[in-house]
Amino acid sequence: MLLGLLVLFGASQAFAIDGMIELSVNGDAGQVFSGDCYLKKKRGTEARHRIQGQVPTSIWLPADAVRCNLQKSSVKGQLIVSLKRGEHVEITQKSRYPLKWVVISSRGPWGQPTGGAYAARPVLK
């Protein structure tokens, strides 16, 4: 419920708390996207969550580490995806024409923050 409220009311940095990562999706206004985010807590398994939205948007993810793969609805236009912890931007990844997929991951059990743009849906390992 709290996560839904933070997304609904456009949570500001004042709400930044431990255990939350902000997924910020910007780029060409109106661009529609969808995809999966894999959330990892310090204790527990990775949980897959389906996300979708329209640029610009921010989603607060209750996790210690995240990996997301997002598909933009059109090859035209651009997505700019960032992962933030409080005021600190861990990584920003831009899509590239004609590639539709953007992958981004925070620091976590899989290593340092990384990102990329792809033509086909990548497989997260």
pLDDT for 100 beyond 50: yes
How high is the pLDDT of residue 11? 44
* pLDDT tens-digit readout, 44-70: 888 999 999 999 999 999 999 999 999
- Both tokens of 100, joined, read 């539709």
Give the pTM: 0.83
pLDDT band at 124 (very low <50, low <70, confident <90, very high): low
User: Torsion-angle region of residue 3: left (phi > 0), alpha (psi -120 to 50) or beta?
Assistant: alpha
